[in-house]
């Protein structure tokens, strides 16, 4: 996964606090339409989105059920799909998760065109548009997911610690190693890696692979390039180097990015961390916040510098953070699409952006309200990079799982890069029916 928001620091308002205060007259209640929504999307922000939607649509009541992503949400979806009781709208990631439930989802092409015009898809950032179709059978151009938010992966760093240690932003791998060494010598964790989490390992590997050849992972998972190609072998060796060169902390293989790594990072115990644009939302959580988190004053980001043999630094990598699908149950409820449209490209989306939850998936949106100049500047940098981002998603869960195993095996020394990638190739061949 990408970073899964269900693994983020979870804060929020109880649903009853915002949803249980309706004072509508009995006759109005009887006429009120209801929409059911399930997701791992942070509850406090979702409730703000629902409130904004219900203000514009007082005849609709949205019932939101929050789950931790894994295993609760995944388990709940499986059970509901098996019993035909899926809610109207479900949170999705593009690729494997969307494909897992494609038979339970209604295509939204016509609904979106009616709501936003025939050229609506052109307003979706290119990497998102590509991910919306990931894993569809050949010739199926239907959209089963509408993206709500985008993300760009990067290396965040604590700029206050860097100033204290008189470190510059690393522009080369040697400078990155020097920064890690100085942080370690100063008693800090250099770059926190939750290597027990497959999603964070995938993200770093994608940064490395795209250094050697932009888009090569996409080609490999589509079967048009080999996982054992020299570029990917070099990326896998560079991945091992991050452990061997002391870039990652000791004990990284048993560590989790959330909550442990994020908490340490927020408290200035960590110098760097591979996360993404979503890190900005930490500044919108309820107090108390550390001095580094307030207005994100302590943080800034850079892209992973070129490793040995790579022609350049990591390009932006990212795409859809979270999207939503209209279930076939929801397709029979007109209010369900009305809410989904608002959540992804309307007043409900704006509330999520104002909470700095992440970047928009559609062009033409930006956060408003109480946002510092520093955060605005960083958000603008991400938005500049988003249109040229490389894909971070996998179409087949078996391929992602094989890559996770390969990365873990190489990191702990039990697998050599070539053998590890050969196993990923075998999983890809099987998934593609070769």
Q: What is the pLDDT of residue 14?
A: 36
Neighbouring CB atoms inside 10 A of 39's CB total 25
Closest CA to 66 of 52, 85, 50: 50
State how far the alpha carbon of 97 is from the alpha carbons of 102, 216, 250, 427, in Å.
Answer: 9, 22, 33, 18
Q: What is the pLDDT of residue 70?
A: 78
> Where in 67-126 does DSSP place strands (E)?
89-92
Q: Which two tokens stand for residue 94?
A: 């593009």
Consecutive sets of 10 residues in the chain, 434 residues long: mean pLDDT of each?
A: 44 37 46 93 96 98 94 95 98 94 98 97 96 94 98 98 98 98 98 95 98 97 97 98 98 95 97 97 91 96 98 97 98 98 98 95 93 94 96 92 97 98 98 91
Q: What is the pLDDT of residue 30?
A: 54
> Where in 231-316 does DSSP place strands (E)?
270-276, 299-302
Residue position matching structure tokens 């704006």 = 350
State how far the alpha carbon of 96 is from the alpha carbons of 136, 188, 305, 312, in Å.
Answer: 10, 37, 30, 30
Q: What is the pLDDT of residue 71?
A: 87
Q: Which two tokens stand for residue 115?
A: 């709501």
Q: What is the pLDDT of residue 206?
A: 98
Closest CA to 45 of 383, 293, 361, 349: 349
Q: What is the pLDDT of residue 96?
A: 87
Question: To 10 degrees, the CA torsion angle through 334, 335, 337, 338?
Answer: 120
Distance CA 358, CA 52 (A): 18
Query: 143 and 120 in contact (C-beta within 8 Å)?
Result: no
Distance CA 282, CA 259 (A): 12
Q: What is the pLDDT of residue 43?
A: 94
Query: 162 and 292 in contact (C-beta within 8 Å)?
Result: no
Distance CA 417, CA 429 (A): 18
Q: Looking at 269-318, list the stretches that DSSP marks H as alpha helix, in order from N- to C-terminal side.
A: none
Q: Which two tokens stand for residue 125?
A: 């950032």
Distance CA 301, CA 172 (A): 15
Q: What is the pLDDT of residue 18?
A: 37
**What's phi and psi for 35, nearest 5 deg?**
-130, 130
Instruction: Say how far residue 266 (Cα) sits from the centre of its chain.
Output: 19
């Amino acid at each position: 996964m990408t970073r899964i928001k269900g693994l983020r620091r979870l804060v929020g308002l109880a649903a009853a606090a915002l949803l249980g205060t309706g004072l509508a007259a009995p006759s109005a209640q009887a006429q009120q339409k209801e929409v059911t929504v399930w997701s791992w999307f942070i509850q406090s922000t979702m409730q703000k989105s629902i409130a904004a939607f219900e203000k514009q649509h007082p005849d609709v009541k949205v019932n939101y059920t929050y789950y931790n992503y894994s295993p609760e949400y995944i388990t709940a979806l499986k059970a509901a799909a098996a019993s035909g009781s899926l809610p109207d709208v479900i949170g999705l990631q593009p690729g494997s998760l969307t494909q897992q439930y494609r038979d339970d989802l209604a295509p939204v092409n016509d609904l979106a065109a009616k709501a936003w015009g025939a050229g609506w898809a052109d307003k979706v950032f290119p990497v998102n548009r590509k991910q919306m179709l990931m894993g569809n059978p050949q010739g199926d151009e239907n959209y089963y997911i509408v993206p709500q938010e985008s993300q760009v992966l990067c290396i965040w760093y604590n700029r206050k610690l860097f100033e204290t240690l008189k470190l510059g932003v690393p522009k080369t791998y040697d400078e990155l190693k020097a920064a890690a060494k100085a942080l370690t010598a100063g008693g800090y964790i250099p770059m926190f890696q939750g290597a027990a989490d497959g999603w964070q390992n995938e993200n770093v590997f994608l940064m490395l692979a795209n250094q050697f050849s932009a888009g090569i992972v996409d080609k490999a998972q589509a079967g048009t390039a080999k996982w054992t190609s020299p570029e990917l072998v070099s990326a896998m060796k560079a991945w091992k180097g991050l452990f061997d060169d002391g870039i990652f902390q000791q004990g990284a293989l048993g560590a989790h990015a959330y909550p442990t790594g994020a908490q340490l990072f927020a408290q200035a115990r960590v110098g760097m961390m591979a996360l993404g644009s979503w890190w900005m939302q930490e500044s919108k959580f309820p107090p108390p916040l550390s001095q580094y988190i307030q207005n994100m004053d302590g943080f800034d980001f850079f892209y992973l510098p070129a490793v040995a043999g790579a022609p350049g630094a990591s390009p932006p990598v990212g795409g859809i953070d979270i999207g939503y699908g209209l279930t076939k149950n929801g397709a029979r409820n007109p209010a369900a699409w009305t809410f989904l449209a608002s959540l992804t490209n309307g007043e409900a989306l704006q509330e999520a952006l104002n909470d700095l939850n992440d970047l928009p998936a559609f062009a033409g949106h930006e956060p408003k309200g109480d946002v510092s100049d520093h955060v605005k500047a960083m958000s603008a940098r991400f938005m500049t990079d988003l249109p040229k981002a490389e894909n971070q998603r996998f179409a087949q869960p078996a391929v992602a799982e094989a890559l996770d195993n390969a990365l873990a095996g190489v990191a702990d020394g039990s697998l050599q890069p070539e053998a590890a990638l050969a196993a990923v190739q075998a999983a890809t061949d099987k998934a593609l029916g070769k």
